[in-house]
Amino acid sequence: MHSTHEGSDNSADSTRPASEVDGRHPYKDRYLTIPNVICVARFIGSLGILWFAFIGNATVFVIGFVVLSLSDWVDGKLARWLNQRSEFGARLDSASDATLYGCLAIGSLMLKWKQLQPEVVWLTVPLVSYAVTTGYGLWKYGRIPSYHTYGAKYSQWLVLGGASAMLLDWSMWPMRVASMAVTLTNIEATAISFVLPTWRVDVLTLLHVLPKRSKQD
């Protein structure tokens, strides 16, 4: 995930689109970069692992999902280290992530349909919360939110562990914990969209965009 903003962001930057924030957080219209290539590979790979779910090979499906999930961590690191951050890259990263987790959901249903039927609530709530935050962003900005919050980063690791445990028949509880984390992350993203007047990428937490009180207050 292409994170770019640090805790020292001032309140003026918090209400400006990333493309207008120069100097400390330079964004450029970059398309052919190493992180973007990784994002495209993740998008294609996400569709590819569905084949292993179709033929019933849960082990290879999980391995593919783990590798693709780790690529998300790698592209974010490279974007910062190589100074190849961009609005396009952040949006491409979000689209690749959505594809990956969408394919995870489809593949999981194909592989574990009977086992997942009792878990319908745990699966539905995070999906509904994602639909709400995405729909609200589209309604307010005409774009899908692309915040890459700390919560999203932590949730990514929980989903990785939870999905692996569920698909390999270890336990359902890690998946349930991940479901709660994803739901809270989506609620925070919705709150961020409510606060921000204009679309912006890479907002670490809701606290980064809340109006700051003066010392006199």
pLDDT at 129 exceeding the cut of 90: yes
Look at residue 1 and tell me if it is in a domain: no
Residue 57 lies in a domain: yes
The answer to whether residue 216 is domain-embedded is no
Q: What is the CATH number of the domain that holds 54?
A: 1.20.120
Q: Chain-centre distance of CA 168, in angstroms?
A: 23
Alpha carbons 44 and 99: distance in angstroms, whole number: 9
Of 171, 158, 55, nearest to 115 by C-alpha is: 171
Mean of per-residue pLDDT scores for the chain: 85
Range of the domain at 166: 11-208
Does residue 214 sit within a domain?
no
From CA 62, how far away is CA 59, in angstroms rounded? Answer: 5
**Number of folded domains in the chain?**
1
Answer whether residue 5 is part of any domain.
no
Beta bridge partners of 146: 201
Question: pLDDT tens for residues 34-81?
Answer: 888 999 999 999 999 999 999 999 999 999 999 999 998 898 888 888
Q: Each residue of 148-177: pLDDT tens digit? A: 899 999 999 999 999 999 999 999 999 999
Residue 8: pLDDT band with limits 50, 70, 90? very low
